[in-house]
């Protein structure tokens, strides 16, 4: 069978599965949770479902549905594949979603799909990572790119003594949020840590095993390496595990964007210095609220009181709805979160 034929069959199977998923009860990593009888449906689409980060976003969106009175439909691709994600969004259009909030694997290819949804009268937004050149009405951002990039630089370079060589292991090359964090990290490092040098940036494509292998390759290729940054939730534990498995704890310091449960053992054994994150469940909660607000025909104000989160700011010039400051996870607080 040709690769194009196989891809077509996979897309058909995915769309058929999604049609069933849209009618599912709450449970697992996909499905719907109803906060109202009938009414509006808000769909939240992660980069990939079935991972702890996505599961936490789902719980937050479900909580918002219960509180504000809409139906939450959370479904995403099973791999970080832009074409599979586009199939998910098109299926949600057919199911009659009133709002779709998506974390694009590829902002350029997702742009036309969001335009299709908007043309059908569906409110569209992004969460976690943006498609800034698309028609999306809102970007639900976990923290500013500058704040995340600077925090990552500080958390890896402080134990490095502010100098030395370090490398970055990211996920997808087209993920706009990761790329913006990398740019901010590079800019801030050059300004604040002139004696530090970023020797390489590699991409593990949302795969922790790939991240471990790539980090080990970086350690072998750069004998003076004293730091590694995992730019996303699969690569943050991946770089720490590489340091642990190569016997470099205390010699090579790591940090990254990692979930509490995945990072806890590495924070405890010292293979990671800290994890830079945010309250992921609240990010899903805010995405659900934003989709519901737009689907209701209401405008998002410059300052908003959003349920359990409290004050949230919105920049109408950029369409950015900001959750808040980054959360620094260490041995002192990592046990306070369960995802």
Structure confidence by residue, pLDDT tens digits, 148-197: 999 999 999 999 999 999 999 999 999 989 999 999 999 999 999 999 99
Report in angstroms the alpha-carbon separations of 54 from 35, 49, 207: 20, 6, 14
Return the DSSP state at 84: H
Neighbour-count burial for 322-335, b at 16+ CB within 10 Å, e otherwise? bbbebbebeeeebe
In contact, 226 and 244? CB cutoff 8 Å:
no
pLDDT at residue 15 tops 80: no
Could you count the other beta carbons within 10 Å of the beta carbon of residue 278?
Answer: 19
Name the strands in the sheet holding 196-203, side by side, starting at the edge strand that comes first in the sequence. 196-203, 164-170, 225-230, 253-256, 274-277, 327-329
Q: Which residue has the tokens 């791999």?
A: 79
Write out pLDDT tens, residues 231-271. Answer: 999 999 999 999 999 999 999 999 999 999 999 999 999 99
Phi, psi values for residue 278, rounded to 5°:
-160, 175
pTM (2 d.p.): 0.80
The answer to whether residue 28 scores a pLDDT higher than 50 is no
pLDDT classification of 8: cutoffs 50, 70, 90? very low
Instruction: Name the token pair of 238.
Output: 């991946």
DSSP string covering 96-144 = T-SEEEE--SSHHHHHHHHHHHHHTT-EEEEESS--TTS--SEEEESS-
Tokens of 169: 């292991």
d(CA 34, CA 32): 6
pLDDT, tens only, 45-81: 999 999 889 999 999 999 999 999 999 999 999 998 9
Give Cα 234 distance to the centre of its chain: 10
- CA 142 vs CA 93, 323, 338: distances in Å: 26, 5, 18
Q: What is the pLDDT of residues 288-332, one digit of tens each?
A: 999 999 999 999 999 999 999 999 999 999 999 999 999 999 999
Q: List the 320-322 sheet strands across, edge first.
A: 31-34, 71-74, 41-45, 99-102, 123-127, 138-141, 320-322, 310-315, 303-306
Least reliable range by pLDDT among 14-28, 85-99, 130-144, 218-232: 14-28
Domains and CATH numbers, the chain: 3-142+279-323 (3.40.50.2300), 145-277 (3.40.50.2300)
Could you list the beta-strand ranges (E) of the chain.
Answer: 31-34, 41-45, 71-74, 99-102, 123-127, 138-141, 164-170, 196-203, 225-230, 253-256, 274-277, 303-306, 310-315, 320-322, 327-329
At 111 the pLDDT is 97
With beta carbons less than 8 A apart as the criterion, state whether 213 and 234 touch: no
CA distance 319 to 125: 9
Q: How far apart are CA 10 and CA 79, in angstroms?
A: 12
Cβ atoms of residues 262 and 269 within 8 Å: no
Pairing of strands 320-322, 138-141: parallel
Half-sphere exposure of 251 (CA within 13 A, CB side): 12
C-alpha to C-alpha distance for 307 and 309, rounded to whole angstroms? 6
């Amino acid at each position: 069978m040709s690769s194009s034929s196989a891809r077509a069959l996979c897309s058909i199977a995915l769309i058929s599965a999604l049609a069933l998923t849209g009618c599912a009860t709450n449970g697992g990593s996909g499905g719907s949770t109803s906060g109202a009888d009938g009414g509006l449906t808000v769909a939240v689409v992660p980069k990939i479902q079935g991972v702890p980060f996505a599961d936490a976003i789902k719980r937050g969106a479900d909580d918002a549905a219960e509180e504000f009175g809409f139906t939450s439909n959370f479904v995403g691709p099973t791999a970080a594949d832009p074409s599979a994600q586009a199939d998910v969004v098109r299926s949600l259009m057919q199911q009659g979603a009133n709002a779709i909030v998506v974390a694009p694997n590829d902002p350029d290819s997702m742009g036309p799909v969001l335009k299709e949804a908007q043309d059908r009268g569906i409110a569209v937004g992004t969460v976690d990572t943006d498609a800034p050149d698309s028609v999306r009405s809102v970007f639900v951002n976990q923290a500013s790119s500058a704040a995340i990039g600077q925090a990552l630089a500080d958390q890896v370079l402080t134990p490095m003594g502010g100098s030395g060589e370090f490398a970055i292991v990211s996920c997808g090359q087209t993920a706009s949020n990761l790329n913006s964090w990398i740019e901010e990290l590079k800019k801030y490092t050059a300004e604040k840590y002139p004696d530090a040098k970023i020797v390489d940036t590699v991409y593990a494509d949302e795969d922790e095993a790939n991240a471990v292998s790539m980090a080990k390759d970086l350690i072998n290729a750069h004998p003076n390496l004293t730091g590694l940054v995992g730019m996303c939730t699969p690569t943050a534990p991946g770089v720490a595990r590489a340091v642990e498995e190569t016997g470099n704890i205390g010699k090579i310091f790591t940090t990254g964007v990692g979930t509490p449960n995945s990072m806890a053992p590495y924070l405890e054994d010292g293979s990671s210095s800290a994890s830079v994150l945010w309250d992921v469940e609240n990010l899903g909660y805010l995405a659900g609220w934003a989709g519901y607000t737009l689907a209701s025909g209401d405008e998002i104000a410059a300052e908003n009181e959003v349920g359990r989160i409290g004050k949230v700011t919105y920049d109408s010039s950029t369409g950015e709805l900001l959750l808040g400051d980054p959360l620094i996870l260490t041995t002192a607080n990592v046990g306070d979160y369960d995802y």
